[in-house]
Amino acid sequence: MHAFTLKNCELGVATAATQIEGGHARTNWHRWAEEPGRIKDGSSPARACDHWNRVPEDVALLTDLNVQHYRMGLEWARVEPSPGEFDSAAIDHYRDELGRLIDAGIKPLVTLHHFNNPTWFEDAAGFLNPDGTKVFQQYTQRMVSALGDLVNEWITINEPNIYATHAYYFGVWPPGIRSLKTLTHVYTNLAAAHIDAYRLIHELQPDARVGVAQHLRVFRPRIAWHPGHWASAQTMEWLFQRVITKAMCKGRFLAPLSQPAGIRPGIYYDFHGINYYSRSTVSRLDDGVGADVPINDLGWEIYPQGLIEVANWLHEAHPGPLYVTENGTANSDDGFRSRFIHEHLAEIAASDLPIERYYHWSFMDNWEWLEGESARFGLIRVNYETQERTMRDSGRFFSEIAAQRGVTEEMYQRYVAHQIYSRNTPPNPGPSRITTPG
Ligand code: IFM
């Protein structure tokens, strides 16, 4: 299907504070990036896109993209630079940004936690500390009170599974801990933090819509008929996404988590945020890429049907409105991004699921955690040296889609028909770890 209409799904783009703002906020990531060898290209979030100083210019670019929605994050370390002390200038800065978005007709969706801890919180053991949830509540309370007249859609926590596994099991993200036991504690505390924040936000703002942005994947056995591979795929799906979504959506903590005191089963979501990028091919408790499949610059499989596969199981398990809060691809020469966008949106157009929003990741190139400035996810290209922004072809494609809520045959021919993906060359290179990024 080349041409399609998006009947019920509105379009937006997404970013996260640490990845675009620049400056010397005292976060876990700024500190981690200072340690030699941690970040692939030695870059740091202190440069990023200098968005903090370029809000008017960037809002104008959002207008050029014709988007109705913008998902943005708050830098907790900026608004609460030391425990309990809030910086009114930083809060006013976000108020100004939100006001500009609203004036431009763009509805904000705000993320409270996107892998970014103030160093004082991290040094007090962050979400590993059971009291960390209370500290997160104070921050949430302050933000919702300060911004609630401008925002009523909130994401409490972004990708709890990616954050917890990378920071506390693989040890490649700050604070660099490698322990399965610790991982289960952090998972439990993150879910509890979300549930407490969900309740608190609704007390403060009865009309709020609150959810989590879950990183979801398709797990398939490397050899379909192999019982070991099949069991591995099931186990990975359980550990990586089913347990955490159940805990956060319903307050039910199944093994290997344990039910925290004070958390009762209930309904703790108004929508589901789905961050979908790729499919994993597994033969053990690992993550790999199938042979001869389309891949992006980071080697992740491009598997558009997977977006609907994950949306389907999530909606079956926990019915509710669905927002695709992230979907996009690393593609530095923009040679296949329009095809990627077309194929994923075509899946949404053909689906009966209540997918109300699609936020492309990302609005512009940004600081991609361990990959630094090397992975390019943006509809807008950023020259980090000069901070010049240039709309990519895929950005023009996306803006046309957003303007008419669909794709015509003529647009397909102009933007997509000539684009091809690279493929993962056989023989299969074997398992790699679950990564965002690699
Ligand atoms: O850049 C990240 C984002 O911070 C979380 N989701 C995946 C993106 C691409 O790796």
Contact status, residue 69 vs residue 109, Cβ threshold 8 Å: yes
Cα of 436 from ligand 1 centre, angstroms? 6
> How many degrees, rounded to 5, is the angle at CA 304 between CA 301 and CA 307?
105
Contact status, residue 356 vs residue 433, Cβ threshold 8 Å: no
- The confidence score (pLDDT) of residue 430 equals 52
Q: Is ligand 1 within 6 A of the CB of residue 325?
A: no
Q: Which atom of ligand 1 is nearest to the CA of 368?
A: 1
Q: Is ligand 1 within 6 A of the CB of residue 326?
A: yes
Looking at the predicted structure, is the pLDDT value of residue 437 above 70?
A: no
Looking at the predicted structure, is the pLDDT value of residue 209 above 80?
A: yes
pLDDT tens digits along 132-155: 999 999 999 999 999 999 999 999
Question: Of 71 and 286, which is predicted with more confidence?
Answer: 71
Task: For residue 390, give both structure tokens.
Answer: 């240039």
Find the range with the poorest average confidence among 265-279, 390-404, 418-432: 418-432
pLDDT tens digits along 297-330: 999 999 999 999 999 999 999 999 999 999 999 9
Q: Is ligand 1 within 6 A of the CB of residue 278?
A: no
DSSP 85: B
Looking at the predicted structure, is the pLDDT value of residue 434 above 80?
A: no
Question: Which residue out of 27, 111, 159 has the highest number of ligand 1 atoms within 8 Å of its CB and is therefore the one to mutate?
Answer: 159
- The confidence score (pLDDT) of residue 285 equals 82
Helices 305-317 and 337-350: crossing angle in degrees, nearest 10, is 40
Q: Predicted confidence band at 380 (pLDDT cuts at 50, 70, 90)?
A: very high
- The confidence score (pLDDT) of residue 404 equals 96
The stretch 408-418 carries a mean pLDDT of 98
Share of the chain above pLDDT 70, in %: 97
Q: Is ligand 1 within 6 A of the CB of residue 275?
A: yes
CA nearest ligand 1 atom 8, residue: 436
Q: What is the largest CA-CA distance in the chain?
A: 59
> Mind spelling out the 3-state secondary structure of the chain?
CCCEECCCCEEEEECCHHHHCCCCCCEHHHHHHHCCCCCCCCCCCCCCCCHHHCHHHHHHHHHHCCCCEEEEECCHHHHCCECCECCHHHHHHHHHHHHHHHHCCCEEEEEEECCCCEHHHHHCCHHHCCCHHHHHHHHHHHHHHHHCCCCCEEEEEECHHHHHHHHHCCCCCCCCCCCHHHHHHHHHHHHHHHHHHHHHHHHHCCCCEEEEEEEEEEEEECCCCCHHHHHHHHHHHHHHHHHHHHHHHHCCCCCCCCCCCCCCCCCCCCCEEEEEEEEEEECCCCEECCCCCEECCCCCECCCHHHHHHHHHHHHHCCCCEEEEECCCCCCCCCCHHHHHHHHHHHHHHCCCCEEEEEECCCECCCCHHHCCCCCCCCEEEECCCCEEEECHHHHHHHHHHHHCEECHHHHHHHHCCCCCEECCCCCCCCECCCCCC
Looking at the predicted structure, is the pLDDT value of residue 289 above 70?
A: yes
Contact status, residue 344 vs residue 327, Cβ threshold 8 Å: yes
CA nearest ligand 1 atom 7, residue: 436
- The confidence score (pLDDT) of residue 428 equals 54
Q: Predicted confidence band at 1 (pLDDT cuts at 50, 70, 90)?
A: confident
Question: Which residue out of 161, 307, 361, 366 has the highest number of ligand 1 atoms within 8 Å of its CB and is therefore the one to mutate?
Answer: 361
Cα of 228 from ligand 1 centre, angstroms? 30
Class of domain 4-423: alpha beta
- The confidence score (pLDDT) of residue 139 equals 98
Looking at the predicted structure, is the pLDDT value of residue 243 above 70?
A: yes
3-state SS class at 382: strand
Arithmetic mean of pLDDT over the chain:
96
Cα of 166 from ligand 1 centre, angstroms? 13
Q: What is the pTM of this model?
A: 0.97
Q: Is ligand 1 within 6 A of the CB of residue 436?
A: yes
CA nearest ligand 1 atom 9, residue: 436
User: Residue 226 to residues 229, 282, 284, 334: CA-CA distances in angstroms?
Assistant: 5, 11, 11, 38
CA nearest ligand 1 atom 1, residue: 368
User: Residue 321 to residues 63, 75, 315, 324, 325: CA-CA distances in angstroms?
Assistant: 26, 27, 8, 10, 12
Cα of 57 from ligand 1 centre, angstroms? 23
Share of the chain above pLDDT 90, in %: 95
pLDDT tens digits along 76-95: 999 999 999 999 999 999 99
- The confidence score (pLDDT) of residue 346 equals 98
CA nearest ligand 1 atom 10, residue: 436
Domain boundaries of the chain, sorted by first residue? 4-423
Q: Is ligand 1 within 6 A of the CB of residue 361?
A: yes
Sort 142 into a burial class: Cβ within 10 Å, 0-12 / 13-18 / 19+: middle
Q: Is ligand 1 within 6 A of the CB of residue 211?
A: no
- The confidence score (pLDDT) of residue 426 equals 64
pLDDT tens digits along 161-194: 999 999 999 999 999 999 999 999 999 999 999 9
Q: Is ligand 1 within 6 A of the CB of residue 437?
A: yes
Q: Is ligand 1 within 6 A of the CB of residue 368?
A: yes
pLDDT tens digits along 355-379: 999 999 999 999 999 999 999 999 9
